[in-house]
Amino acid sequence: MEIRTEKMAAPVKFVVVVSTEEIVEKKKQAYEKIKDSIVVEGFRKGHVPQKIAEDKIGTEKIYRTLIDDVYLDVATDNNILNAYSFYFYGDLKKDVPLTVEFIADVKPDVVLPALETMRTKVIFENTVISEDDVDNQIKFELKQEDRIEDSTKTILEDYDVAIVDFVGTLVDEHTPFQGGTAKGYQITVNEITNGQKNFIDNFEDQMVGMTIGETRQIKVKFPDTYRDTTKAGKEAIFSVTLKAIKQKINAQLNDDFLKSKGFQVIEEYKERVRKDLLVSKQKKNEDDFKRGLITTIIADSQISPIPQIMIDNECEKEWQAFLRRIGKNEEQAKKENKISKEVFLDNYHQKAIDVIKASLVLEQTAKELGIRPTEEQVFEYVLKLSKILDQDEEKKEKIRLELKTNKRQYEVMEKATRNEYVIENLFVRFK
């Protein structure tokens, strides 16, 4: 079979020439599939000669699946996603060559950079724990032991603990937005945690000076980069009622605190903190290095245009996942979460492209490194994700059976396993 392709703006035109010998064989195969259903007077069912069946029933009727078979042969080996605009030239009544033309979206080509160049582009950071790291962690653990007690204050000040009820409404809207209402909410006013306050904008500044029982209208603006895109950049008004004022009693680094952590000597406690920090920071450094490796490989790869169908499929998959996460259908999401499918897909469009590029690059890297996980490796990966204990044999066998019987699920988990093996291989090679 001769196959010629013509590159177009995004799709590819396929011109497939099937030789006379191949046509004869494919016609024979097509006839064998349906011969038991052919009825011609004077012949037993299933024993009608091929040529007589063609004359009595018609070649188009007998060989109507032949074009599909030609397409499937080509699609299997050419990463075809979908095809359209079919034309064929030839005469199925005769044993002569057949030409089939169609347009198809194909999986993009990926040309990876020379992987060895990653050694100079992404550097693994050695893990070092300083005294400041240890001291900051101890401060954090002390903070976890802070106590909240009643206060005699009647006017709210910075660092007081406020117990509030609030209702938030976007400006120019009349109903409270989801997640913007609470009762008995506890907040330490203007406390900085991990470099930021608890609430957005100057919400907490506007609370200072409130008296117990007072209700105050607080106007704020959501950041442009706010995680909920339906509120990003918008102004809101919160009706806030101060119910009570409490005080925070800070824990002290003393014998009682050390005993609560299982130590009697501060140096031993600090050493435990240091070891724990080393483990967590080393894990973070490894994860950062892996992300940097993959990001750099993707940026340096040459990827042909991504067909729209791939982008649409990825966007649809994420939209369905979003609906499952919030437990709503499309209509409910639009009404209650104030987000339509169109807005969601528009916001996710670039992320979809990034996800597809990452998947393509990892797939190509796996091919070049010769990585393809075995069934047992896929099974072990799923067990790790499921956090199944070794002794829970019943659950393990249930998972194994599900992987064997659910082809789609197995393909998804095989891909995830493959990607992890690729990333680990690159990490070991270049760290």
359-381 mean pLDDT: 94
CA dist 414 and 378 (Å) reads 6
CA dist 56 and 54 (Å) reads 6
Q: Which amino acid is at 169?
A: T
Q: Show the tokens assigned to 78.
A: 């050419």
The H-or-E segment that residue 236 falls in is: strand 235-249
In the predicted model, is pLDDT for residue 241 greater than 70?
A: yes
Residue 320's domain is classified under what CATH number? 1.10.3120.10
Average pLDDT, the chain: 89
408 — pLDDT class (breaks 50, 70, 90): confident
CA dist 346 and 367 (Å) reads 33
CA dist 124 and 299 (Å) reads 19
Q: How many CB atoms lie within 10 A of CB 136?
A: 13
For 189-204, the pLDDT digits (tens) are 998 877 788 899 999 9
For 35-78, the pLDDT digits (tens) are 888 888 878 877 888 888 888 888 877 887 788 888 888 887 78
pLDDT at 400: 86
Does 274 share its domain with 419? yes
pLDDT at 203: 94
Does 102 share its domain with 174? no
Does 222 share its domain with 343? no
Does 162 share its domain with 233? yes
Tell me the pTM.
0.67
pLDDT at 7: 54
Does 244 share its domain with 290? no
Task: Establish if 133 belongs to a structural domain.
Answer: no
Does 31 share its domain with 162? no
110-111 vs 302-303, strand pairing mode: antiparallel
Task: Establish if 211 belongs to a structural domain.
Answer: yes
Q: Which domain holds residue 419?
A: 266-430
Of 406 and 65, more confident: 406
Quick check: 188 and 196 in contact, CB under 8 A? no
Residue 45's domain is classified under what CATH number? 3.30.70.1050
